[in-house]
A and B are shown apart, each in its own frame.
Chain A
Amino acid sequence: MSDTTVKSRKRRGLIKAAGALTAAAGLGFPYISRAQDKPIRVGVPTILSGRVAQLGISSRNAIQMEVEKFNSAGGLGGRKIEVITRDSKGKPEEAANNVRQLVNGDGCEIILSAESSAGAFAVQEVIRELKVLCLHTNSETSSLTADPKIRVPTAFRTCRQGIHDAIVSAAYAGNVAKAGGLKTWMSCSPDYAYGRDNTSLFLEYLKKFNPDVEIIGETWPKLFQADYTENITKILQAKPQALYSCLWAGDLVSFVDQAGIYNLLGQTSLFAINMADYTTLTAVKNLPAGIHSATRYIKTYPATAENEAWGEAYHNKFSDYPTNWSWENAVAANFVFEALKKTKSTDSAKLAEAIRGSKIKSPFGADGSVTMRAEDQTLIGYAMGWGTTIPKAPYVPKVTPGDWKAVLEHEAEWKKKMGYA
């Protein structure tokens, strides 16, 4: 074999190798490059039509605002987040179908379930099967995460929880009742799962914190009832000194407007847990002073520059006010961002491990941060408080903060009693 032949073979080999490399570059490298550029798809099933559409829209807005910040800061090593929203119309079966479609059809790797409690429980069962990371952002029903039988390893809750609210609310109301001599109480709450659970827990803890309180009656209007006359006249007949209500949104607005013309609130102190949310506060045209309410979302509580800036940024961007659901979704988005940065992965199990027990800075935290408690994968440390309304901004000028130490102690007892711990 001559040198020329050997050189020729070497040259052909080099040409082949170069060709193969070029082909690999043409096929393989762009593939890797596309994987890096491929957006991380986050699915958001929520309620965008019907009577509570406003809450779903405010959830989507909050997620959008946070995602834009994340993406403009470079995303995850260049990968941007793409949000895909689907409307469940408030129907649990639609919510469950939407999650399947988002994961299997749209390729979503993470779910932010901005559903009400009815939808959240349906979504939870789909997540149990699909094993995708899911953060429930709006369901306050305690059992969703408190009950070990319902809990799912890759599902978390980033919103208020009924038992937390009940303890803080009853502690505040119990103290006000002691100071003001409010002994006779009634309740007027919507007749469905949330209304009944919330009210029974509140009354249970109210009696615990102030045994002098006597519950003299109850009235249960339907959800989305237009006319509260029959409920108001019943309350007038019973003449309670105080009234508890977990009516919300337009229902609470109608109730307050109709109670006003009977001068009910001149005779009875109203404790309306859902009053201090901008959409409700601004909808009541003649907002009476002195309604006791929990802070759902107001930019003045927590009274920090970060919270005020977030509330104003939302208002400036959407020409609308954020709701209670808005901050809860913003928290969810930020837990996801932190987990993505920490794991540099979209693997659900890894992300869940990163979120479980983690603590992140947040404008909505009682001390500037919120924690995802590991044992039941639910949010703690968020700002909760109660105060009385005035007819104009800041609407609830003085807020009595909830005591998280007391909340956690009573919650632990409650879990034992319910067989959850």
Chain B
Amino acid sequence: MDFQALLSCFSSASCVVTQTTGGLISGMLLFLVAAGLSLIFGTLKVVNFMHGSLYMLGAYFAYSLYVATGSYTVAVIGAALGVGLFGLIFERLFMSRVYNTDVLMQLLVCYGFILILDDAVKIIWGAEFLSMGMPAAFQRPPILLAGGVLPVFYLFLIAVTLVVALALGLLISKTRAGKIVRAAAINPSMTSALGINTALVFGGVFALGGLLAGLSGALAAPVRSMVSGMGFSILIESFIVTVIGGMGSITGALVGALLIGLVRSFGTIGFPLFTEGIMFLFMTAILIAKPSGLFGKEL
């Protein structure tokens, strides 16, 4: 542990700016995946263990669309919608059949699809890792602020994810669709009795969760190499985020993701050999203090 280095960083504006931005970007991309995971759990009461695979699909879809069109915008939007559609089909054909079964059955279905999708990626895109490369619009020097380094692409990603977070929050809390989702989450039988097609709601929520994971994968594609199985590590971190924030809470996912991002960013300065450990210690402390997570009652 290097407290001296950590104190030195906190007393340096350039270090605070650079590390905070780094923490924010890691956290925001994580938020998109964790928000989808949390949304699906909160509404459907199933833990989507293949959510990391949806992130992977988003990255690969974006890669193919970028190669085909040369447009990063088309790649990101197309990939997010594509994964959303995939999520809808997957939910209707498979997940909807195991909602009321044992959690082990749900786990088995998800794990089966993790393996199928990993192999499908190898068949379609190959076993080699791929890199999309930085779109021309973002191939520019980073901005310097108080001596800190702010990459233009990362500022763009933070802005996009903030807008998505805001839109998602408004969708869930302020719109009729959001109210229906919340009602279906609390009492699906009553919601159905009121004439609302809950199957459609569940399918829509799963599609939205998939869309968010796909969006995260697509946004990250220019800076993260793609390979079959890449969804696993982000799935673990997403679970940590949802446990910290509270399963089912979008606000919790946002706060949890940002906390994890910042803990990792500053942890690497102060606790370089224990960065991963800090993340889990942090989660343990939250679980002891508030077992339902920071915002566990929401939605």
Contacts and interface: CB of A to CB of B under 8 A. Distances in A.
Interface string B121-134: 01000011111111
Contacts of B153: 261
Interface string A196-227: 00000000000000000000001110101111
A57 B127 contact: yes
Contacts of A54: 127-129
B152 to A, nearest CB: 8
Given A219-B268, A230-B264, A262-B151, A225 B233 contact: yes
Contacts of A260: 134
A282 B228 CA distance: 18
Contacts of A218: 272
A279 interface: yes
Nearest to B264: A230
A283 B131 contact: yes
A53 B22 contact: no
A277 to B, nearest CB: 11
A257 B26 contact: no
B265 A233 contact: yes
A254 B142 CA distance: 18
A253 B276 CA distance: 22
A26 interface: no
Contact of A222 (B12, B227, B276): B276
B182 interface: no
A285 B267 CA distance: 31
Contacts of B25: 229
B122 A53 contact: yes
A395 to B, nearest CB: 15
Contacts of B132: 285
Contacts of B21: 233
Interface in B141-183: 141-142, 149, 151-154
B227 A286 contact: no
Contact of B269 (A237, A253, A286): A237
Interface in A51-68: 51, 53-54, 57
A61 to B, nearest CB: 12
B230 A283 contact: no
Interface in B238-284: 264-265, 267-269, 272-273, 275-276
A115 interface: no
Interface string B214-225: 000000101111
B227 A250 contact: yes
A283 B129 CA distance: 7
Given A237-B15, A262-B142, A263-B141, A253 B131 contact: yes
Given A257-B131, A261-B151, A285-B133, A232 B224 contact: no
A122 interface: no
Contacts of A229: 22-23, 25-26, 154, 265
B142 A279 contact: no
B154 A236 contact: no
B268 A227 contact: no
A234 interface: yes
Contact of B223 (A233, A258, A320): A258
A236 B149 contact: yes
Most buried by B among A226, A234, A237, A285: A226
Interface in B92-131: 122, 127-131
Contacts of A257: 131, 133-134, 222-225
A419 interface: no
Interface string A232-266: 11101100000000000111011001101111000
A287 to B, nearest CB: 10
Contacts of B222: 257
A261 B15 contact: no
B48 interface: no
A262 B149 contact: yes
A232 B150 CA distance: 12
A358 interface: no
B26 A253 contact: no
A40 interface: no
Contacts of A262: 142, 149, 151
Contacts of B234: 226
Contact of B139 (A57, A286, A320): A286
A224 B19 contact: no
A399 interface: no
A229 B261 CA distance: 10
Most buried by A among B29, B128, B152, B229: B128
Nearest to B21: A233
A254 B18 CA distance: 19
A51 B227 contact: yes
Given A226-B224, A261-B223, A250 B139 contact: no
A50 interface: yes
A219 B275 CA distance: 11
Given A53-B127, A54-B129, A283-B130, A261 B273 contact: no
Contact of A237 (B9, B129, B154, B227): B9
B149 A253 contact: no
Contacts of A285: 131-134
B154 A261 contact: yes
B240 to A, nearest CB: 14
22 contacts: A53-B228, A57-B127, A218-B272, A219-B272, A222-B233, A226-B230, A232-B22, A233-B18, A233-B19, A233-B265, A234-B269, A237-B9, A237-B14, A237-B269, A250-B227, A251-B225, A254-B131, A257-B223, A258-B224, A261-B223, A263-B142, A320-B128
Lowest 9 A-B CB distances belong to which pairs?
Answer: A285-B133, A250-B129, A250-B225, A261-B151, A229-B22, A253-B225, A230-B268, A233-B22, A53-B127
Interface of A: 50-51, 53-54, 57, 218-220, 222, 224-227, 229-234, 236-237, 249-251, 253-254, 257-258, 260-263, 279, 283-286, 320
Given A263-B142, A285-B133, 11 more contacts: A51-B229, A54-B128, A222-B276, A225-B233, A230-B19, A230-B22, A251-B225, A254-B225, A258-B223, A283-B129, A320-B128
